[in-house]
Amino acid sequence: MSETSSLTVTIASLSAHEGQTVTLRGWLYNIRSSGKLLFPTFRDGTGTIQGIVPRAAVPEEVFETLKNLQLESSLTVTGKVRADSRAPSGYELDVESIHIISAVSADEPFPITLKEHGVDFLMEHRHLWLRTPRQSAILRVRATIMRAAAEYFDTNGFIRTDPPILTPNACEGTSELFEMDYFDDDKAYLTQSGQLYIEATALALGKVYSFGPTFRAEKSKTRRHLTEFWMIEPEVAHLELNGLMDLAEAFITHIVTRVLESHRADLKVIGRDVEKLEAVILPTDASSKVATATDTGTNIAAPTDAGINVIAPSGTGINIAAPTGTGIQVAAPTDASIKNESVILSEGAAEVEGPAVKTAPNRFPRLSYDEAHAMLEKAFAEGKIENPHTYGDDFGSPDETYISSQFSKPVMVHRYPAAFKAFYMQPDPLDPTKALCVDVLAPEGYGEIIGGSQRIDSYDLLKQRIEEHNLPLAAFQWYLDLRKYGSVPHAGFGMGIERAVAWICGLDHVRETIPFARTLNRIYP
């Protein structure tokens, strides 16, 4: 068990070292035995590999040490890489020597076994649960989602401007905030959105985004809620609602594309049905339920090119440029995509912003609140949902689940009644009772992953709304200043990272999407 001079490699790279003697640095993940044979499985954070240790082939000390070793003991192991169809990964390691770094005591064995555990036990041992293959895979996918999200904005002319985490007042005056003392007499609150601040940076820099933690003290106990979560928020000057929806669509498409590029193996470990993700980024989906949902019977033709069409609206100041080598094409709308749009885009929606805004490709279905309401009415009449939806009310979770279940792609619901929406949302000029806002509902019932809107750009109207919502005018004076000095139409959205990860990984609960989830009843470990 002396130090060797063999090459130190990761398990993920082992297939490139077949026939070589290599050294791994890892942990004992599992061990089985059959007579004088040991089958230890090692993990190192990049993957797992089965070793084989015949008693006759190794020094007695190596065999005895491994045989008595507890799971999750740390070690280095040296051996020869060999392809073998009997090994779970297709390769196995003929162990020659091992060096124990830290042995786990049998008095207190590693608590996470390969058998089933309950939620409470796993969350209480989250620091150790993270070592299991599935949890590690989820965190790798999360990292790619976060990187791809930032990358999309970084490569499309956005400047990252991070807002403060400590704020003097409620951003929207709705959600409950975490309060803390701020020196002698003041109170401070943990941010629940950086939106108001990045409206300021957007008017300074044009296209900006922020990416950071967000806190909500709501007493929500569901599979979709954390009290601390990460949100990425773009905000764009001179952008209106339709352009915002185009942006959200291209953004989500980019993220899903990146995950599919490099995480097939992780998604398999997680048990994700990859076809559902592939459907999201396909140019069109002839088998989608779009046609039936609108009951037009229109045949939706697929575009002729197999690439992904990302079409930027002209005149909005947004340049949607795909990174090279990704297989993403930036193309003009095809006849097919325009035809597709005519099926699902609200009538007149494209006219709202005038001729400066081109129609969108509409690979993601877009429904107005009214259209979504009609869909729910029909569903209730046909007995497909339990409770009727009252026109004028927000959609409940079952409503959102039903709507999103009608499509294989994320669905954008826009122009909700302004009455239950945030004070800063721009009214629809065609119907001032509606707000120019959009929620993006993930498929498969994952619910809202993006919420966004065009913001009020009129000083007088914004002031009136602040007063109507009984918000302290003084605290919002700086925000009103943005409308006093060179106000322009602008819009933005926020995407909750954990909900996006839960959807893309197909998880039951957001608590598995973040290394250490903060929920209503848990702040340990």
Site for RNA in 52-71 (CB under 7 A): 52, 54-56, 68, 70-71
CB of 335 to RNA, least distance (A): 34
CB of 199 to RNA, least distance (A): 15
Q: Name residues contacting RNA, limited to 355-414 (CB under 7 A).
A: 394, 396-398, 400
Q: Which is nearer to RNA, 55 or 276 (CB)?
A: 55
- Does the protein bind RNA through residue 34 (CB under 7 A)? yes
DSSP 78: E
Q: Which is nearer to RNA, 86 or 185 (CB)?
A: 86
CB of 171 to RNA, least distance (A): 9
DSSP 117: -
Residue type, 468: E
Contacts with RNA, 79-108, as mask; x by CB under 7 A? -----x-xxx---x-------------xx-
Q: Which is nearer to RNA, 208 or 449 (CB)?
A: 449
Q: Name residues contacting RNA, limited to 503-522 (CB under 7 A).
A: 508-511, 519-522
Strand partners, 135: none
Q: Which is nearer to RNA, 125 or 463 (CB)?
A: 125
CB of 351 to RNA, least distance (A): 27
Burial of residue 268, with CB atoms counted within 10 A of its CB: 0-12 exposed, 13-18 middle, 19 or more buried: exposed
Which of 210, 494, 503, 507 binds RNA (CB under 7 A)? It is 494
- Binding-site residue total for RNA (CB under 7 A)? 75
* Element (DSSP H or E) covering residue 314: none
Q: Name residues contacting RNA, limited to 176-195 (CB under 7 A).
A: 193
Q: At what angle do helices 397-405 and 369-381 cross, to 10 degrees?
A: 90
Span interacting with RNA, options 31-39, 202-210, 290-298, 352-360, rule CB under 7 A: 31-39
Q: How many other CB atoms are found less than 10 A from the CB of residue 35?
A: 7
Q: Which is nearer to RNA, 24 or 328 (CB)?
A: 24
Phi–psi pair at 208, nearest 5 degrees: -135, 165
Q: Which is nearer to RNA, 116 or 185 (CB)?
A: 116
Q: Determine the distance from the C-alpha atom of residue 218 to the mean position of all C-alpha atoms in its chain, rounded to a whole number.
A: 21
Residue closest to 10 by CA, chosen among 76, 62, 61, 88: 76
Q: Which is nearer to RNA, 223 or 276 (CB)?
A: 223
- Does the protein bind RNA through residue 121 (CB under 7 A)? yes
Gap between the Cα atoms of 118 and 121, Å rounded: 5
Residue type, 355: P
Span interacting with RNA, options 20-28, 116-124, 307-315, 461-469, rule CB under 7 A: 116-124
The rounded radius of gyration (Å) of the Cα atoms in the chain is 27
Q: Name residues contacting RNA, limited to 190-229 (CB under 7 A).
A: 193, 216, 218-227, 229
Burial of residue 319, with CB atoms counted within 10 A of its CB: 0-12 exposed, 13-18 middle, 19 or more buried: exposed
CB of 145 to RNA, least distance (A): 13
List of E strands, 363-414: 366-368, 411-414
Give the three-state DSSP class for 260. helix
CB of 85 to RNA, least distance (A): 8
List of E strands, 260-348: 308-309, 328-329
Q: Name residues contacting RNA, limited to 291-320 (CB under 7 A).
A: none
Give the three-state DSSP class for 175. coil
Strand partners, 450: 440, 495
CB of 233 to RNA, least distance (A): 9
Which structure tokens are listed for 17? 């070292």
- Does the protein bind RNA through residue 499 (CB under 7 A)? yes
